Amino acid sequence: MKYVIQVNEGPYNHEASTSALNFVRAALDAGHEVFRVFFYHDGVNNGTRYTTPPQDDLNIVNTWSELASKHELDLVVCVAAAQRRGIVDEGEQSRNGKDGNNIAPGFRISGLGQLIEGCVQADRLMVFGD
With cut-offs at 50, 70 and 90, classify the pLDDT of residue 59.
very high
pLDDT in tens, 60-117: 999 999 999 999 999 999 999 999 999 999 988 999 898 999 999 999 999 999 999 9
Does the predicted model carry a pTM greater than 0.85?
Answer: yes
Which CATH number characterizes residue 124's domain?
Answer: 3.40.1260.10
Structural domain including 37 reads: 2-128
Number of domains into which the chain is organized: 1
pLDDT of the residue at 122: 98
Q: Three-class SS string for the chain? A: CEEEEEECCCCCCCCHHHHHHHHHHHHHHCCCEEEEEEECHHHHHHHECCCCCCCCCCCHHHHHHHHHHHHCCCEEEEHHHHHHCCCCCHHHHHHCCCCCCCECCCEEEECCHHHHHHHHHCCEEEEECC
Catalytic residue among 68, 78, 79, 104: 78
Q: Can you give the pLDDT at residue 63?
A: 97
What's the confidence (pLDDT) of residue 129?
97
78 part of the active site:
yes
